[in-house]
Homo-oligomer: A and B are copies of this chain.
Amino acid sequence: MKNLEKITSVHNQHVKDWKKLQTRKQRTKTNTYLLDGWHLVNEAIQSDISILTLIGTQEQFELHPDILTHRFDTYEVTSEIMTDITDSVTPQGIAAVVSKPEDDLQIPAELTGAWLLLDQIQDPGNIGTMIRTADAAGFTGVVAGRKTVDIYSPKVVRAMQGSQFHIQLHQGNLIAWIEQFKQNELPVYGSELNEAAKNFRKIAPSDNFALVMGNEGHGMSQELLDRTTQNLYIPMAGQAESLNVAISAGILMFQLKQK
């Protein structure tokens, strides 16, 4: 342990700064975000992500003294502070501030593997679930377009359950990413609710491609649909009008990439 400071006041400046990480503005400004709970903190420790600050209650540090053997900047706080800085109703009493990758990554010149692109997805639970599903399907990475909600918001972070430590996760301009996939001769599949598109079951599974999922209400933007290699649809029976976007993404990902 580099340093252990005890904080008991919610008015302490550190507490205010951690709490502000609930806003996109602060996350962007500091290039950091907050991990809440043991599962995520342990995943971060096992990965090569650097933990900038470890925050825990006295109770948790007593129950898990091992965590204090790391050389993190460490703060002991009250349960009240923990509730204040996380958006959990019942926080576990452990949290960490970690670096988040730069938003404006240079798109790699060489792209391989299976990639999921998220166009204007609005629901944090859907985004987190899709990232977690991409991880389980063996995808290489996920790219969130600029109009998709921030992938480091507390709700997305909770829903992705640590998958950001297993796969590549970027935010960027989807048109530029699509062009780069095509330059690398990877097919780019769009998804739409249109029977004129190709039945997804007619696409042979492969290891190298990109799949684009669109907004919950109105689907993918036309400017992206126009740039894909092929647009796919999932044939639906019954009178259901649509599938939840995360369910559609799961069905498509596990069809297109098969272990």
Interface positions of A (Cβ within 8 A of B): 129, 132-133, 135-139, 161, 163, 165-167, 201, 234-244, 246-248, 250-251, 254-255, 258-259
Contact A135 B247 (CB under 8 A): no
Which of these, B161, B234, B246, B259, contacts A247 with CB under 8 Å?
A: B246
* Distance in Å: Cβ of A118 to nearest Cβ of chain B: 15
> Which among A132, A243, A250 has the greatest number of chain B C-beta atoms within 10 A?
A250
Contact A254 B240 (CB under 8 A): no
Please name 10 further chain A to chain B contacts, defined as beta carbons within 8 Å, in addition to the given A129-B244, A129-B247, sorted by A numbering. A135-B238, A136-B234, A137-B238, A163-B240, A235-B259, A237-B259, A247-B247, A247-B250, A250-B251, A251-B254
* Distance in Å: Cβ of A161 to nearest Cβ of chain B: 8
Identity of the chain B residue whose Cβ is nearest the Cβ of A139 in the assembled complex: B238
Using A244-B132, A244-B133, A258-B201 as known contacts, say yes or no to A138 and B250 having CB atoms under 8 A apart: no
Which of these, B136, B201, B241, contacts A243 with CB under 8 Å?
A: B136
* Distance in Å: Cβ of A84 to nearest Cβ of chain B: 24
Contact A242 B136 (CB under 8 A): yes
Contact A136 B250 (CB under 8 A): no
Contact A237 B201 (CB under 8 A): no
Identity of the chain B residue whose Cβ is nearest the Cβ of A254 in the assembled complex: B251
> Which among A137, A201, A241, A247 has the greatest number of chain B C-beta atoms within 10 A?
A247
CA gap between A85 and B259 in the complex, in Å: 49
CA gap between A236 and B161 in the complex, in Å: 15
